[in-house]
Structure 1
Amino acid sequence: MKFIIIFAIILLVILMKVLSLREPWATLIKDKKKFIETRSWKTNYRGELYIHASITKIDKSTRERGDLLDLLGTEEFLYGYIICKCTLVDCVYMTQEYVDDMKNNHYQEYICGEYKEGRYAWILKDIEPLREPINAKGKLGIWNYYDKFEY
């Protein structure tokens, strides 16, 4: 009697849309203290988006900002890791009225971005920190990360 043993490995490839940010901005999103990412360019993409903390260290002027230090506490940064996922739900063109409203009515959000007329506000919802951050090399723009899982 012959026994044939078949081993099957199912390879699942997961595509993730990722945006790399410098610290402390990536961590502020992960910690749900920042819900709008400000950019000089617009995107038509909507949907699940992962946030990657780039390897670029925090510059001196950012480290010296007391308003940000209060938000961050003693947080350690995971440079070079995908640290959370969220949903990108909108991309809003900033008018002067929008900028003024953010400054006057949403000050915490305002200090966490570059709010200027002509820029774009990427609105993020459903932010979830990853249980196990993923080491990855960042890229410019929204980029694709492929992760493989074996079962």
Structure 2
Amino acid sequence: MTTVYSEPLALLPILALSVRQPWAHAIVKGWKDIENRKWNTSQRGLVCIHASAFIRSNFDSDLDDYSDVVSERITPGEHPVPSTLMAKDLDFGAIVGVARIVDVTMRHSSPWFFGKYGFVLTDQQILAEPIPVKGALGFFDWRPRKIVAPEPSARPATAQGSLF
């Protein structure tokens, strides 16, 4: 079940965790309840989920892995999880939602667990609009990394006059 983040954006957690797509999407949609990592953490609580930048080779590989997990491990009808996702339907290089880390485990019954360490997630929520942010490794303070769109010109540019 997808839950939309309803708090003011100013209340978003300071720390973010960058996750490649389509895994980030699966987290914030509430399907994926474990984030697999090779490293442990003492971090607990609500964190922002950052969808990393688009890299074709990474996305193609991760999409294949995602499809394998869904087809081999997710019981049909148990969760409305699509077996494949399209890059055009996903956000990249942005904070896309939040999730609460409640534990870290090396064993779990979740069909999404296949890492050395699994960050156990609850309270997954998707943002109504993604926030463009340059990612980083590990947990990072995303606010100084926010990508600000240039301000539109206050007045329209005048057309260049005749060159001749």
What is the TM-score of this pair, normalised by structure 2? 0.63
Gaps of 5+ in 1: 1-11
1:77-116 aligned within 5 A: 77-92=90-105, 94=106, 98=107, 102=109, 106-107=110-111, 109-110=112-113, 114-115=114-115
Find the partner of 2:83 among 67, 71, 80.
Answer: 71
Residues of 1 paired with 2:119 and 2:64: CA distance? 26
Q: What is the identity, as a one-letter code, of the residue corresponding to 2:34?
A: I
Take 1:37 and 1:13, find their aligned partners in 2: how far apart are those partners?
Answer: 23
Match of 1:38 in 2: 36
Contact 2:15 2:142 in 1 (8 A): yes
Name 1:51's counterpart in structure 2: 49
Report the counterpart of residue 9 of structure 1 in structure 2: none
Question: Which residue of 111, 117, 121 corresponds with 2:118?
Answer: 121
Q: Which has the larger strand fraction? A: 1
The answer to whether the 8 Å contact 1:52/1:138 transfers is: yes
Partner residue of 2:5?
none
Deviations 1:64-117 (A, max 9, x none): 45435843445711110100011111112x1xxx36xx3xxx43x24xxx33xx
Give the number of the structure with larger relative contact order, counting CA–CA contacts within 8 Å between residues 6 or more apart: 1
Asked if the contact 2:50/2:93 (under 8 Å) is kept, the reply is: yes
In the alignment, the residues of structure 2 paired with residue 40 and residue 19 of structure 1 have an alpha-carbon distance, to the nearest angstrom, of 14
- CA apart distance, 1:120: 1.1
Name the count of aligned residue pairs.
Answer: 121
Contact 1:46 1:90 in 2 (8 A): yes
CA contact (8 A) 2:98 2:126 kept: yes
Which of 137, 140, 146 is matched with 2:137 structurally? 140
1:145 to partner: Cα distance: 1.9
Match of 1:5?
none
- Post-superposition shift, 1:61? 3.2
Please report the RMSD computed on the Cα atoms of aligned residues, expressed in angstroms.
Answer: 2.7
The one-letter code sitting in structure 1 at the alignment partner of 2:141 is N
Deviation of 1:59 after TM superposition, in Å, equals 3.7
Looking at structure 2, the residues matched to 78 and 45 of structure 1 have their Cα atoms a distance apart, in angstroms, of 25
Alignment TM-score, normalising by the size of structure 1: 0.68
The alpha-carbon deviation at position 146 of structure 1 amounts to 2.3
| Residue 27 of structure 1: aligned partner | 25
Larger displacement relative to structure 2 (55-64 or 130-139): 55-64
Unaligned 5+ segments in structure 2 are: 1-9, 72-81, 147-164
8 Å CA contact 2:51–2:94 kept in 1: the answer is yes
**Maintained 8 Å contact 1:87/1:126:** yes
